[in-house]
């Protein structure tokens, strides 16, 4: 459990450092993401982005197992 918390902390640390570079990635604006805009407001659900992140994390976790 301690290893997991340390690794997650390091990942968040480096994500914070590299945030300006990560913002330029097209995640959250991929084709297939749902965006609805009406007069009353808007709704955004990044379904394809969630799938891509899930696949990448699964591959990374299985690689280190």
Question: What distance in Å separates the CA atoms of residue 48 and residue 37, rounded to the nearest whole number?
Answer: 18
Q: What pLDDT is recorded for position 40? A: 92
Q: Which of residues 29 and 36 earns the better pLDDT score?
A: 36
**For 6-33, how does the pLDDT look when each residue is reduced to its tens digit (9 = 90+)?**
999 998 999 889 888 878 877 778 888 8
pLDDT at 55 over 90: yes
- The residue extents of the domains of the chain are 2-64
Q: What is the distance between the alpha carbons of residues 21 and 14, in angstroms, rounded to a whole number?
A: 11
* Rounded Cα distance, 34 and 44, in Å: 6
Single pTM value for the model = 0.59
Instruction: State percent of the chain over pLDDT 70.
Output: 100
């Amino acid at each position: 459990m301690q290893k997991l918390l340390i690794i997650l902390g390091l990942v968040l640390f480096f994500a914070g450092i590299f945030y300006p570079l990560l913002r330029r990635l097209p995640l959250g604006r991929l084709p297939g993401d749902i965006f609805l805009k009406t007069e009353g407001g808007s709704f955004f659900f990044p379904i394809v982005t969630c799938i891509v992140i899930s696949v990448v994390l699964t591959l990374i976790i299985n690689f280190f197992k």
